[in-house]
Structure 1
Amino acid sequence: MPAPLAVPVPFLLHFPGSTVEDIAVFCVAALVAVTVSAESQGLAATLLGDRQSGGGKRFQFNAFLHLDPLGTLCFFVAGFGWAKEVKIDAAKFRHPRFYLMLSRLAGPLGNFMMASIAASIYALLTNFGFEDKAFSSVVVVNLMMAIYGLICVYPLPGSSIVGLVFRGGEGFDKTVRYVRLISPFLLLAWFVAARLLDRDVIGTVLHPLVRSIALFLTTGM
Structure 2
Amino acid sequence: MLDWLSKDPRGFLLFMLYRAPAVLIAITLHEYAHGYVAAKCGDPTARIMGRLSLNPVKHMDSLGTICLFLFGFGWAKPVPINPNNFRNPKRDDILVSVAGVTINFIVFLISTLLAVFIGRHLYEIPFDSANIYRFFLDARSDGFTIQLFPEYVDVLMPLLKTPWLIHLQRVVLHSILINIGLCLFNLLPLPPLDGFHLVNQLIFKGKIYMGGKPFRVMQAALMALMLFTDVVSDFVGKAIYFVQGNVLDIMLRLVGI
TM above 0.5, yes or no, is yes
Native 8 Å contact 1:36 1:111 kept in 2: yes
Native 8 Å contact 2:225 2:232 kept in 1: no
- Structure 2 unpaired stretches of 5+: 123-164
Match of 1:215 in 2: 248
Q: Note the C-alpha offset of 1:49.
A: 2.0
In 1, distance between residues paired with 2:107 and 2:189?
Answer: 22
Residue type of the partner of 1:166? F
1:139 aligns with 2:176: yes
Native 8 Å contact 2:23 2:178 kept in 1: yes
Native 8 Å contact 2:41 2:86 kept in 1: yes
In 1, distance between residues paired with 2:78 and 2:227?
Answer: 22
Residue type of the partner of 1:202? F
Match of 1:74 in 2: 67
Q: TM-score, normalised by structure 1?
A: 0.79
Distance 1:112 1:19, change over 3 A: same
Q: Note the C-alpha offset of 1:97.
A: 2.9
> Which of 103, 106, 112 pairs up with 1:113?
106
Match of 2:14 in 1: 21
In 1, distance between residues paired with 2:44 and 2:61?
Answer: 23
Residue type of the partner of 1:134? V
In 2, distance between residues paired with 1:156 and 1:121?
Answer: 29
1:166 aligns with 2:159: no
Q: Note the C-alpha offset of 1:19.
A: 3.9
- Structure 1 unpaired stretches of 5+: 1-11
Give 1 or 2: higher helix fraction. 2
Q: Note the C-alpha offset of 1:77.
A: 4.1
Identity percentage of aligned residues: 23
Native 8 Å contact 2:16 2:69 kept in 1: no
Q: Note the C-alpha offset of 1:151.
A: 0.5
Deviant stretches of 4+, over 3 Å: 16-20, 51-56, 198-201, 216-221
Q: What are the Cα deviations for residues 95-134 of structure 1, in whole angstroms up to 9, with x where unaligned?
A: 2133112202110001011112222222222211233201
> Which of 51, 56, 68 pairs up with 2:44?
51
Q: Note the C-alpha offset of 1:185.
A: 2.2
Q: Which structure would you say has the larger RCO, counting Cα contacts within 8 Å and 6 or more residues apart? A: 1
In 2, distance between residues paired with 1:128 and 1:213?
Answer: 23
Q: Note the C-alpha offset of 1:177.
A: 3.0
Q: Note the C-alpha offset of 1:70.
A: 2.5
Native 8 Å contact 2:177 2:240 kept in 1: no
SS in 1 for 2:229: helix
In 2, distance between residues paired with 1:30 and 1:133?
Answer: 13
SS in 2 for 1:113: helix
Q: Note the C-alpha offset of 1:209.
A: 2.1
SS in 2 for 1:98: helix
Distance 1:96 1:135, change over 3 A: same
Q: Note the C-alpha offset of 1:76.
A: 3.7
Q: How many residues align?
A: 205
> Which of 24, 27, 30 pairs up with 1:37?
30
Native 8 Å contact 1:41 1:107 kept in 2: yes
Match of 1:97 in 2: 90
SS in 2 for 1:87: coil
Distance 1:123 1:50, change over 3 A: same
Q: What are the Cα deviations for residues 111-168 of structure 1, in whole angstroms up to 9, with x where unaligned?
A: 0111122222222222112332011101110011111111111221111124313356
SS in 2 for 1:84: coil
Distance 1:54 1:116, change over 3 A: same
Distance 1:199 1:39, change over 3 A: closer
Q: TM-score, normalised by structure 2?
A: 0.69
